[in-house]
Amino acid sequence: MKYAFNLPLGALETVEYRDLVQTLDGEGFDLATMGGHLLTAAAGRYPDRPVANYAGNYAEPFVLFSYLSAITTRLAFMNSIHITPMFPTALVAKQAAELSILSAGRYILGTGISWQPAEYEAMGGDVSTRGQRLVEQVRLLRRFWTEPVVTFEGKFHHIDGMGIGRLPEKPVEIWMGTGTDDARLKRVARLADGWIPTGDPEEPLSRLRKHLEEAGRDPSTFGIVARVTAGPEAVDAAKRLQALGATYITVGAPQGQSAMEALPAIVETRRAVASAIG
């Protein structure tokens, strides 16, 4: 079992990021994840959604992860999620490859389609085609990371003998953050190296395993990240998630506490879970 931590949605001060990730790095955590958006909207624009999900002071992940990887030694970093269909695929390929090289392979691209039309429009994109575009992007990204020169003709891309220059030592892993309906789980099973579930993964995991097998893939080699809350109930929850096939346990802060406030409890919970399940 490996252990993860979600960095806060709102950007921290530089010294807080330093203290947080260096503590995690020294305490046996394997992965730090971070969500967020490129752009922020005014609070109250989407009254049916949590304000932090669209009006936060978000950090830019490639820049931040480059800094954090330079001040840590073992911790890997993953978006949860990067809204890849909003961006030019060649740019994402280049940024991800460079981050993988600079961090000695400690980067995972966690990708997804997100939901906000206004953010897509601000980026010159089309929210209605984001799922189709992501499918094509994943295939193209894998080629950019393994081939010096790529020629590709698709619905959304025309690449005529171009490459990103420096290739990573190994292809960047691509994990997908999705909901739990079968259409999305089938996409994950076909294309991704791992799954970042939104919500409780217990029931969907049996369906995901079935879709992986139908796609000719081995479920035992597929990455799955699941979450427990720091505290006394975490050990039993982690045992249940391990039995379901989770490969990473994210230890989250209790509701109402910031990451820095909860850090001692998060560290102690990881120790207790690791002692119980490995």
- Cα torsion 273, 275, 276, 278: sign: positive
pLDDT in tens, 59-112: 999 999 999 999 999 999 999 999 999 999 999 999 999 999 999 999 999 999
Q: Which whole number is the average pLDDT over 167-191?
A: 96
Task: Using pLDDT thresholds of 50, 70 and 90, give the confidence band for residue 155.
Answer: very high
User: What is the percent of the chain with per-residue pLDDT over 90, rounded to a whole number?
Assistant: 94
Candidates 3.40.50.300, 3.40.50.2000, 3.20.20.30, 3.40.50.1820; correct CATH number of 2-277?
Answer: 3.20.20.30
Do residues 116 and 38 lie in contact, with contact meaning Cβ atoms separated by under 8 Å? no
Average pLDDT score over the chain: 96
pLDDT in tens, 31-70: 999 999 999 999 999 999 999 999 999 999 999 999 999 9
Per-residue model confidence (pLDDT) at position 79:
98
Tell me if the pTM is above 0.85. Answer: yes
Task: Using pLDDT thresholds of 50, 70 and 90, give the confidence band for residue 278.
Answer: confident
Distance CA 227, CA 234 (A): 9
pLDDT above 90: residue 268? yes
The alpha carbon of residue 152 and the mean position of all alpha carbons in its chain are separated, in whole angstroms, by 26
Per-residue model confidence (pLDDT) at position 200:
82
Per-residue model confidence (pLDDT) at position 162:
98
Domain-wise residue ranges, the chain? 2-277
H or E stretch including 94? helix 89-102
Return the beta strands (E) in 23-149 as ranges: 31-34, 76-79, 107-111
Q: Are strands 107-111 and 223-229 parallel, antiparallel or unpaired?
A: unpaired
Distance CA 139, CA 131 (A): 13
